[in-house]
Amino acid sequence: MRVPAIPADVPRSLTTSELRQAGMTKRAITAAVSQGDLHRLRLGRYAPRETPQLLIDVARWGGRLDCVSLLSHLGVFVHSRTGPHIQIDPHATRLPSRPAEVRCHWRPTAAPAESLVADLTGALAQAVLCQPARHAIATLDSAWHLGLVDERGVDEAFRRLPARFSVLRGLLDARSEAGVETLVRLILRTLGHRPQLQVVIDGVGRVDLVVDGWLIVECDSRRFHSGWDAQVRDRRRDAAALARGYVTVRLLAADVLSRPESVRAQLEEILGHGPAVRRSGGRSVFAPTPARRSRSRQR
C-alpha cells in the first residue's frame, strides 16, 4: 500500500484518518513507519519519507517552522542563522521537550492545522521583529525579489507589525538581487548617497550599483566569483567600465556581512575623492558615459 503523495511545495502532515481513507490499514501504517516510508510525528500525525528532517523535528516539538528559519529554508536571505525558530499556537499545552537553542514564537498563524510551516506573511513579520532593521530589510527585499511575496503581501506583513516599523517600508527595493546588495545600498544611504540598482552600461553589462554616476559597486561572493573564468570576466568588465569613465570597487560579501563598519569607511573614503576626471584645456575628456537601468529589473 502506497503512502498518499503530497506536493513538495505543500509541507504538511497526514492524519491517521487520511491514511485510512487512502486504504492503509493500521498494520500497513505501522509497516510504513518501520520501513521509513512514513515518519511518526506525534499521536495521529505522520509525514512522508521525503519530508526534510528539520520539518520533522519541528513538528515533533509541537510547532511549525517559522520566522528566519522558514525563510532561510525557502532560499530567502537571512543574515544570521541561529537555532530553529518555530511557531507554536498560543493555547498549546503538553508540549514535548525541545533543545535550548530552539526559539519559540507563541502566536497564531493563518496556516492550516496540518501544515508543517507557518504562513509566509506571518513569518516575514516575525522576521522583522527578530532581526536588526538592516537585516530585516535585506530579508524582505530577498523574499520580494524571489517572488515569494508581492507588494500586497509586503504591505500585509507591515500591517501585522507595530506602527514604529512602518519607516522600514520605504526602504525596500525588490530589485536587489542579493541580501548583500541591500546591505551595501543601506550603507550608502547612511553616507548620503542614493545609488542606482541593477544598472546596464553599454559595453559593460549589468552592474549591481552605480553611485553618483561614476562609481560602480559590485558585491562579490565566492559562489559566483571564485573561479578563474569568473575573474577573467570581472577584470574585462572593469577595464571596459574604466574606459567609459567609471571606477569599479568590488566588495567581498563576507566583509559586508561581518565587517560592515570597515566597508562603510572604505566607501566613504572612495566617494570622498570624487570621480577621476582628466581635463584638457578645461574640457573633460574622461567622464562616465550615460548608464541605463535594466528595464526588466524596474519595479
- Please check whether residue 211 lies inside any domain of the structure: yes
Which triple of cell numbers denotes residue 182? 541591500
Strand partners, 156: none
Do 114 and 36 belong to one domain? no
111-139 as b/e: b if 16+ CB within 10 A: beebbbbbbbbbbbbbbbebbeebbbbbb
Please indicate, yes or no, if residue 120 is contained in any of the structural domains.
Answer: yes
Give me the number of domains the chain comprises: 3
State how far the Cα of 181 lies from the Cα of 196, in Å rounded to an integer. Answer: 11
Together in a domain, 290 and 193: yes
The answer to whether the CB of 114 falls within 8 A of the CB of 13 is yes
Domain boundary, last residue among 136, 171, 206 = 171
Residue 147 placed within a domain = yes
For residue 30, give its domain range: 14-51
Residues 154 and 211 in one domain: no
Residue 2 lies in a domain: no
3, part of any domain: no
Please report, for the domain that includes residue 277, its CATH number: 3.40.960.10
Please tell me whether residues 164 and 189 are part of one structural domain. Answer: no
155 and 68, same structural domain? Answer: yes
Q: 293 and 189 in one domain?
A: yes
**Are residues 151 and 95 part of one domain?**
yes
pLDDT score for 25: 93
Q: Do residues 188 and 165 share a domain?
A: no
Q: Are residues 116 and 90 in the same domain?
A: yes
Sign of torsion over alpha carbons 177, 257, 260, 71: positive
Block residue for cell numbers 498518499: 4
Per-residue pLDDT of the chain (299 residues; tens, 9 = 90+): 567 666 666 799 999 999 999 999 999 999 999 999 999 998 899 999 999 999 999 999 999 999 999 999 999 999 988 899 999 999 998 899 999 999 999 999 999 999 999 999 999 999 999 999 999 999 999 999 999 999 999 999 999 999 999 999 999 999 999 999 999 999 999 999 999 999 999 999 999 999 999 999 999 876 655 566 777 888 999 999 999 999 999 999 999 999 999 999 999 999 998 886 544 444 444 556 566 655 444 44
Q: Do residue 158 and residue 239 come from a single domain?
A: no
Structure confidence at residue 284 (pLDDT) = 42
Interaxial angle between packed helices 179-190 and 260-273, expressed in degrees from 0 to 180 and rounded to the nearest 10: 60
Asked if residue 6 is part of any domain, the answer here is: no
Looking at the structure, do residues 70 and 27 belong to the same domain, yes or no? no
- 175 to each of 37, 67, 74, 244, 296, how far by Cα in Å? 42, 22, 19, 24, 9
How many whole angstroms separate alpha carbon 136 and alpha carbon 134? 5
Verify that 47 and 81 share a domain, yes or no.
no
